[in-house]
Structure formats: structure tokens, C-alpha cells
């Protein structure tokens, strides 16, 4: 049994992960800014699940969420940075506001989570940070998601460097990156400037399937995990093709 905090916990992958972890006996805290949806998600998880209303794009609110989770759970074993948002706009049409929003939601929210939970993990000499990225953070294969993809590439690099720094100074703290593909949630519909329904796209996974893989990554403390069965092979093939001059 572990004490696990999940940001972006009011819907989609975060809510599905909360339900799975609570069902198997972990102590769970869900964090999100939408109070009604958050409390409904926590209720579906069962009694004892904490609902912490906070905007993860604001450092002070993330710091408060860490404190509330520690107070409610006793300590934190795993912090899952899952909050994020997509966008539908070609790169030649992107504005400053588009880039700022993608960086704030997809990078800063995770950055704040990593930095604010770290003192707690350092004091215990143990812990795990799980950052939820995307296949688009590895392969920029969908042009209208350019700014989203770029923000996740940034997150991937930040994650790798956090991991390397902590491996040297605090080997009991693991930093895990999880890269889902298309997931059947409201993610596409909630993208900036609108978007297609992710449920209609081919080769998609359910939020429950992705949650199960994240749970296994928590258990194994693996460093780098893809949720599509062929995810790693697709990345290797993509960059091999670029190297061949395609």
C-alpha cells in the first residue's frame, strides 16, 4: 500500500488511475481545479480519498496541495503529475498566448509538482515522481498539436535531467516518465481552439488501460514507460528514418 497524489484527477486518466489505486488498497489524494468534478471523481474512488482543490499552474497552490496531502495521508510515497491540456493550431499560426498556455499547463504544473514535493521526499530519502507525457512528446507526428508536442518534449528533457540529478544525490527517489498514445477521453474536445473527439481516433486506449500501465510503473519504479504496445518501436523507427535522410 502506498500514499499516492494525482494531479489532473477530476477526469480522464487521472480519475481512472485514482479509482484503480483506491480499489487495490492505496491511499489516494486527487488534485484538480474543478471542484464539482473533482469531488465526484473522489466519490467514485470510495471513502477516504482526499479531494484537494488547487490550480497546478500556480506554485503556491501546488505547495498548499503538497501540505494538505501530507496532513491528510501522513506522508507521500508517489506524486503523479498528470495535469495537462492540448491544442489544435498549425505551427505557422501559433500565437504567444498559445505557447504560454501550453508551457504553463504542461510544463510548469509538473515542474512545480516536482520541486514542491521534493523536500518531503528528500527528508524521507524515498519517493517517486511520475510525469505523464505523450507519444507526441517523442514523435511530433500530428501538425495541429505542434505546441502541445513541443511542451511535452520540454517536459521529457526536464524529467530526464531531474532523474539524473536525483540519482546521484538521492538514489531512493525515482523519476518516471509515462508516454500514452491516443486515449479515449475528453482531451481532444477540451483542446485550445477545439479539436476532434479522441474517442473517434484509431489505435486508441481507454483511460482504464492507461491507468493500469501507470500503476505497474509505480510498482516497478521503471524510468521510462510507453502505454501503446509498440510505442518504443515506433520512436526508434521514426528517428531511424530521419537518420536515413527521409
Q: Which of 148, 226, 238, 239 is catalytic?
A: 148
Contact 102, 150 (CB under 8 A): yes
Q: What residue spans of the chain are helical by DSSP H?
A: 12-23, 35-45, 59-73, 96-103, 109-124, 146-169, 207-220, 231-243
- CA dist., res. 113 & res. 148, Å (int): 19
Judged by DSSP in three states, 22 sits in: helix
Closest-CA residue to 144 (of 88, 201, 85, 86): 88
Residue with cell 491511499: 27
- CA dist., res. 105 & res. 56, Å (int): 8
Residue with cell 511530433: 140
Residue 148 annotated in active site: yes
Contact 10, 51 (CB under 8 A): no
- Residues marked active site are found at 148
Amino acid at each position: 500500500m502506498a500514499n499516492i497524489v494525482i494531479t489532473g484527477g477530476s477526469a480522464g486518466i487521472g480519475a481512472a488511475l485514482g479509482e484503480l489505486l483506491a480499489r487495490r488498497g492505496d491511499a489516494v489524494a486527487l488534485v484538480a481545479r474543478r471542484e464539482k468534478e473533482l469531488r465526484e471523481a473522489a466519490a467514485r474512488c470510495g471513502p477516504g480519498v482526499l479531494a484537494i482543490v488547487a490550480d497546478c499552474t500556480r506554485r503556491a497552490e501546488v505547495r498548499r496541495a503538497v501540505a494538505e496531502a501530507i496532513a491528510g495521508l501522513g506522508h507521500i510515497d508517489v506524486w503523479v503529475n498528470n495535469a495537462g491540456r492540448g491544442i489544435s493550431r498549425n505551427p505557422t499560426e501559433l500565437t504567444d498566448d498559445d505557447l504560454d498556455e501550453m508551457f504553463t499547463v504542461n510544463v510548469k504544473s509538473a515542474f512545480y509538482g516536482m520541486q514542491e514535493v521534493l523536500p518531503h521526499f528528500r527528508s524521507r530519502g524515498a519517493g517517486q515522481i511520475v510525469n505523464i507525457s505523450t507519444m507526441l512528446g517523442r514523435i511530433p507526428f500530428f501538425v495541429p498539436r505542434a505546441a502541445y508536442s513541443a511542451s511535452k518534449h520540454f517536459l521529457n528533457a526536464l524529467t530526464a535531467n531531474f532523474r539524473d540529478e536525483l540519482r546521484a544525490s538521492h538514489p531512493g527517489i525515482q523519476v518516471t516518465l509515462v508516454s500514452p498514445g491516443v486515449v479515449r477521453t475528453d482531451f481532444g474536445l477540451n483542446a485550445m481552439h477545439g479539436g476532434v473527439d479522441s474517442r473517434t481516433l484509431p489505435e486508441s486506449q481507454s483511460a482504464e488501460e492507461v491507468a493500469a500501465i501507470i500503476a505497474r510503473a509505480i510498482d516497478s519504479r521503471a524510468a521510462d514507460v510507453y502505454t501503446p504496445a509498440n510505442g518504443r518501436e515506433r520512436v526508434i523507427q521514426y528517428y531511424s528514418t530521419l537518420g536515413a535522410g527521409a
